[in-house]
Structure 1
Amino acid sequence: MNEVVALNVPKRMRLRVADFALLDEAGAFAGYRKTELIDGEVLTMNAQHRPHMYAKGEFAFRLRLALQAIGSSLYVGMEGSVSLSDHDLPEPDIILTSEPIGDGPVPGASVALLVEIADTTVAFDLGRKATIYAAGGVPEFWVVDLPARTIHQHWAPVDGAYLKTCIVPLGETIAAATIPGLSIETGLN
């Protein structure tokens, strides 16, 4: 009689946010620049050159002014860790949150909008990051695609995907789909 025997196959071990935090506190990532935890995997982040730095600063500044203009209490943060699940602790370029003060990472439930500035990471940001942000319930997510001079706007997250998307050319106004009255000019020199 033939019997099927299960083989012990190596499996990927997904780190939890708590594991990642302990390793980080112990200095395990000290030689790797900045890191983030995506689906339980520790990833190093690319160096940020001037186009990325400039776009991130401009978008954060314009978002801050626009939020003030509409009387919103949302805070614009840059490069903070956001806790989205037991295995996801990304560090988006720009975070709009209702809870900027406190210990630990920004709670995912407090996030209204995340922005990634993509110079060399467009495919990753539109793929794996978008999936994680949607699964984490982030209401709206923008990817500023510097090479293509466009903004990919995503909203209505359901089951790890955004149901609604649109592309706005840099230089035009973008209006948030989930924050009433919020819009910014996107022209970059």
Structure 2
Amino acid sequence: MMTAVAESWKELADTTQVKPRVLHWTVDRYRKAIQNGVFGEDERLELLFGGIYERMGANPPHAACIELLQEYFTERYFKKYGLRSENAVQLSDESLPQPDFVVVAYRSDHYAKNFPQITDVFVLIEVADSSLLVDRGKKKTAYALAGIPEYWIVNLKERQLELHLQPDRVQGLYRSVVMYAEDSKATSPFVGEVVVADILPSVDPE
């Protein structure tokens, strides 16, 4: 049985609890925190809607898929467009995600002074395995609200390409979402015909 003293301490604790203050981060504040060593530059973090989230760790299939995307787009668009993997894109004053791959307008300085902005982006791609719910949820909403014209999810779990088009910047959704199986060909407004198998890592045993 709880003693009278213990009960009085419990009552005191209940009445004096202070709710933790939730910080709302801007891009400027977030970047300054990194510069000041609050967060390590090599930490897998990204800013979405004013909140800081830890990005899922990469596994071998995820890393292989990013390399495939790099090869695929480099063969077609080298020095015609900027091809960036796991680098930040600024969507707003409170969102600075780091998509797995993005095709942006080519700049000779390679965005040395500022991250690419919404108007620089042609295609944005997330490679999804353990991150699938986030990529289909919070990230898809962020990209639609920003007006990213073409959003791909390379779904490693179901081995398919999920092509999102026609962003609705008011409701935060894509009006067109089409799933393309591994043995099919997708139609991308930017790329044209995409053989889905070409951007999926092999699952054959060594």
TM over 0.5: yes
**Which residue of structure 1 aligns with residue 36 of structure 2?**
26
Matched, 1:78 2:90: no
With normalisation by structure 2, the TM-score equals 0.78
Q: 2-side partners of 1:66 and 1:174: how far apart?
A: 16
**Does the 8 A contact of 2:186 with 2:193 survive in 1?**
yes
Give 5+ residue unaligned stretches, structure 2.
1-18
Aligned counterpart, 2:16: none
Q: Which is further off, 98-107 or 161-170?
A: 98-107
**Any unmatched runs of 5+ in structure 1?**
1-8
What is the 5 A alignment of 1:52-131? 52-67=62-77, 73-100=80-107, 101-102=110-111, 103-131=113-141
Q: Structure 1 residues 32 and 44 mapped into 2: Cα distance closer, same or farther (>3 Å)?
A: farther
1:36 pairs with 2:46: yes
Question: 2:173 corresponds to which letter in structure 1?
Answer: A
Give 1 or 2 for the bigger CA radius of gyration. 2
TM-align CA RMSD: 2.1
Aligned to 1:165: 177
Q: Report the count of equivalent residues.
A: 176
1:80 touches 1:92 (CA, 8 Å); kept in 2? yes
Q: 2:188 — aligned with what?
A: 176
Shift of residue 152, structure 1, vs aligned partner:
1.1
Q: In structure 1, the residue corresponding to 2:137 is in which secondary structure?
A: helix
Which residue number in structure 2 is paired with residue 15 of structure 1?
Answer: 25
Please give the TM-score of this superposition, normalised by the length of structure 1: 0.85
Instruction: Judge conservation of contact 2:65–2:127 (CA < 8 Å) in 1.
Output: yes
Q: CA deviation at 1:31?
A: 8.6
